[in-house]
Amino acid sequence: MILGLDISTSITGYTLLNQDGSIQEVGHIDLRKQKNFFDKARVARDAIVALDKRTPSWIQHIYIEQSLQSFRSGFSSAHTLSLLSRFNGVISWICSDLFSTDPQYIAATSARKVAGIKVPKGKKAKEVVMQFVIDNVPEFDVQYTRHGNPKPGYMDRADSYIIAKAGWLNERQETQNTD
């Protein structure tokens, strides 16, 4: 089984894929009410432990979206990048410890490319990913607000699905190359 994570200090998306690439479970961990870094980490840990208890088979591979490594105009500040990087490290360690396997990191752009997603210039990647998943993954359920937008957490779920799917596709490619 494969676990894909889109880690954030506000909402962390997760996807469990079976060995055949089908979805076992997709969800998110809402951390917006926790204001303290360590409270966020505890809530995330408890949710990951609960996920482990619900999982019918052992998680063998963990793929995590690589945290941003550099500044880009109009995006996150140094403080935000540092916070996200620390949180990514804490959640990575929790997963490594719980599942006895070290996570592998995939850049969001690489994951989208492997999954066959092209983000046109001027479009927001999260919205393109969400539409791709809606159009191509019938078992991916989305709940909407009364204004027709995906409810909070569903774009994070879509991102985690793409990370998990890219990991699964990379594994298949490696297996085919060794056969």
Mean pLDDT, the chain, integer = 91
Residue 73 clears pLDDT 70, i.e. is over it: no
Residues 6+ apart with CB under 8 A from 158: 13, 126, 129, 130, 132, 133, 134, 140
At 54, which amino acid appears?
R
Span 120-147, average pLDDT: 94
Q: For residue range 23-35, list pLDDT tens digits in order.
A: 999 999 999 999 9
Q: What pLDDT is recorded for position 179?
A: 60
Domain positions in the chain are 2-178
Question: If one looks up domain 2-178 in CATH, what number appears?
Answer: 3.30.420.10
pTM of the model: 0.91
How far apart (Å, rounded) are the C-alpha atoms in residues 29 and 175?
Answer: 32
